[in-house]
Amino acid sequence: MNIGIPKERRPFEYRVGVSPAGVEILVQQGHTAYVEHEAGLGAGFSDLEYERAGASIVYSGHEVYGRAELLLKVTRPVQEEIEWLNPETTLMGFLHLASARQGRVEGLVEKKTTAIAYEQIQLSDGSLPVLHSLSQIGGRMAPQIAARFLQNNLGGKGILLGGVAGVPPAEVIIIGAGAAGTNAAIAFLGLGAHVTVLDKSMESLQRVHDRYPQIVTMISTRRNIERACNYADVVLGVVLVPGERAPIVLTREMLKTMKPRSLLIDMSIDQGGCFETSRPTTHDHPTYVEEGILHYCVPNVPAVVARTSTHAFVNAAMPYIMKVAECGAEAAIAKDASLEMGVNTFKGEMRHLQRWVAPEEGE
């Protein structure tokens, strides 16, 4: 199969769809890989490394899209890339189409693209094996983000996460005890913050409590969220419903009761956001103030640790990539129920996708 690995065209997206190690595996299986010039540069992979792995370097996005039967990306295509797509191409990436502009989804449907969203590949136990890798990274990055934006010079309230003798640590509230929330809780705890985790699942809270009894756990109800946010210095939202818009767990009215200059970090923003006042920001302008509260709503947080992120998600995605490359998309989807759960568009039809469109945001 002809496999294309293009350069990512979204701002501040430094990751790449496959590492040279992944290309080498695919080439050894008899596939042909076309890598766009400098596609891996942001993640520290040179064209020479890809060539040594057996790939051919091409010098335009149009060419790599034109050659590809299977296209391996990180983020969903922008409009120009959709126009480059050949009919019936298979696309794999972190697509988050539930919050994409309507025209992007319509473009994939019109091209009869088979679009497989890594974030929706789901095992029988409900776990998300490919997304899990980036959720871990995002969760572990949350404390370093919080530490920066609690500083006065960046708009924060001037609090040290871990406190010092005689001065209490920051109060950190985490809504969501999945992979991202749990990793964030552990990392915040390691820096000395006082951490409270809320989730609807008692099983998830029990896991956190059993491993880290010093972390406070609470059932995620409106009343408990409101109470916790009243004393919070940092609120981290990591709520996910695969294939759907993230539910709103913190309303504007709740926001008004929070302490001024507290920090909200919405890591559900790529699925529409879990705070009513959230709107997407970028790595160069990551924050804004709403109702006196500092908001951090960058969708692609792990993109700025691109080498680690690329290796992590490729490790998890390779078994699925290899199945599609070996069998073709239709046969692979038919054989693998986990892969089938990740299908968003297939031969002109939508699957496993509840559409929600931000009126002004998104690509």
- Residues marked active site are found at 96, 270
Pairing of strands 234-237, 263-266: parallel
Q: How far is CA 190 from CA 10, 173, 245, 336, in A?
A: 33, 15, 32, 39
* Nearest of 278, 246, 240, 292 to residue 361 by alpha carbon: 278
Distance between CA 345 and CA 349 in Å, rounded? 5
Is-contact 191 143, C-beta < 8 A? yes
User: What does 33-58 look like in DSSP terms, one character per residue?
Assistant: EEEETTTTGGGT--HHHHHHTTPEEE
* Burial state string for 203-212 with b = 16 or more CB within 10 A and e = fewer than 16: ebbeebbeee
